[in-house]
A and B are shown apart, each in its own frame.
Chain A
Amino acid sequence: MLVIHCPFCGPRNESEFINGGPAREKRADNPNAYADADWIDYLIEAPNPLGPVTEKWWHVMGCSMWFSIQRNTLTHEILDYANKTHD
């Protein structure tokens, strides 16, 4: 089980969180400005590295905050509590 550091609550068991998948670029304000291929790429492609991935977690059984951390997908070591919060 991972111990995830919530920026608000501190270190908590993984079972208090829901994984929100890998963090991606911010969605464009105006999708029409994209070429079709780039827009499809944005919708369907997600990073899948064998190594560090930046991913979102939701502290659903705690303070409800969304934030991202960096975790190694092979070792599960948490490399960076990026502490970048999301709305």
Chain B
Amino acid sequence: MQNYSVFSLARNALSNHQNWRQAWRSPPLKKHYDVLIIGAGGHGLATAYYLAKNHGIQNVAVLEKGWLGGGNIARNTVTIRSNYMRDESIPFYVKSLELYEKLSQELNYNLMYSKRGMIDVVQTYPKLRELKRRMLAMHLHGSTYEPIGVSELRRRISPLTGGDLESRLPIIGGMVHTDAAVCRHDAVAWGYARGADDRGVEIHQNTGVQKLLRGSDGSITGVVTDRGKITANKVALSVSGHTTTVAETIGLRLPLRTFNLTAFVSEPLKPLIDVIVNCPDLGVYLSQSDKGELVIGGAPDSGQSFRRDIKQNVFEESVRSMLELFPSFKRVKLLRQWGGALDIAHDATPIISKTDIPGLFVSAGWWGGFKAIPAGGLTLAHLIANNEQHPLSEPFSLKRFDHLDFVLEPATTAH
């Protein structure tokens, strides 16, 4: 792998940047691999990387229907946080943040990681109670969450001028999550892809999987793709919103439903907000990118949807909510809007699991799964390599449904 450093930058400047090597290869497709990973999003690529790095399994191919990193990893609002509610979830996300913090060095790829913290703006007492309960659970697992008063909240978020005592929902307090961060989403896909490729993993773009195949003993034997049949000993499914569509081809039913989540950005503004602002009572959250754009996200479309655009009513709802608290943003122009199709499990907790089909693994239900990419890849690779759960992902097994042991994870708006 060509190392990226200030020296390689200087050296390549001398040759007008004509001699940079490609970050990953495009090798010919083989007929057989030890492990096939379906979906070159964050989770698929991270899994391939850790399979090769931690477990020495290198005869691996990642199959991608479109282009690498063109799914939800390209579409999310990059909030990285660990303020979850359940004892089963928090340690997993704490680990993911820990991995993220060192990921630029680990991958030799600048992720522009910015640990800027998140502030929840609270406007109802039930929400305040819920977040304080969350705080107590988080403190047990080493995550950070602290209450702040209204004046401190307004001092730290200067354009927050709405929500006074006269308003429909006055602001009553806030919570600060100092561990929260943002980073460049594409770089996560590209960094893991480059690292995996360097360790022997093959990435095949424009290779959509049409069908999963099983043998006479019931176990997985391979897949049928747009480019023909490929056999494998193990197959992992990490296709985000399309999990049920692919699982159906082998008769596997999973407790997942697919929804459309959306975001939009404003024109670039001068530096204005230096934290992630989450407004759980209104269902809107925002942060300011390095380019100065406000990155704004809201609630999902209510019905099932595989679309990747945004509906006008969902958009208007988010804007209206934002303007209640940030009335001065009324004159800001919006530049782009988009959506993505995500699946969510019956109990809203992700699934990292074996399935009823020996050799078939699934990583799904990633509703707010950008933050979970490092830990998701680490634990899925462990499961594929050892056929046993990593302790951190044990609670995310499909087994929990056998006894209706749900891990009910309530949402905060920021994904």
Contact = CB atoms under 8 A, between A and B. Distances in A.
Interface string A49-78: 010010100000000000000010110100
Contacts, number: 53
A48 B303 CA distance: 11
Given A1-B311, A48-B244, A22 B346 contact: no
B312 interface: yes
Given A50-B245, A71-B303, A44 B313 contact: no
Nearest to B305: A73
Contacts of A46: 255, 257, 346
Interface in A28-52: 40-41, 43-46, 48, 50
A44 B307 contact: no
B302 A19 contact: yes
A79 to B, nearest CB: 14
Contacts of A43: 404
B253 to A, nearest CB: 5
- Report the contact-size class of chain A (Cβ under 8 Å from the partner): 20 to 34
B321 to A, nearest CB: 14
Given A1-B311, A73-B258, A45 B303 contact: no
B402 interface: yes
A76 B302 contact: no
Interface string B303-338: 111110001110000000000000000000000000
B312 A1 contact: yes
Contact of B307 (A18, A22, A45, A74): A74
A14 interface: yes
B300 to A, nearest CB: 11
A33 B302 CA distance: 34
Contact of B404 (A1, A40, A55): A40
A85 interface: no
A71 B258 CA distance: 14
Given A40-B402, A40-B404, A43-B404, A48 B313 contact: no
7 contacts: A15-B313, A19-B303, A21-B257, A40-B402, A44-B346, A44-B401, A50-B258
Among all A-B residue pairs, the 4 with the closest Cβ atoms = A19-B302, A44-B255, A1-B313, A48-B244
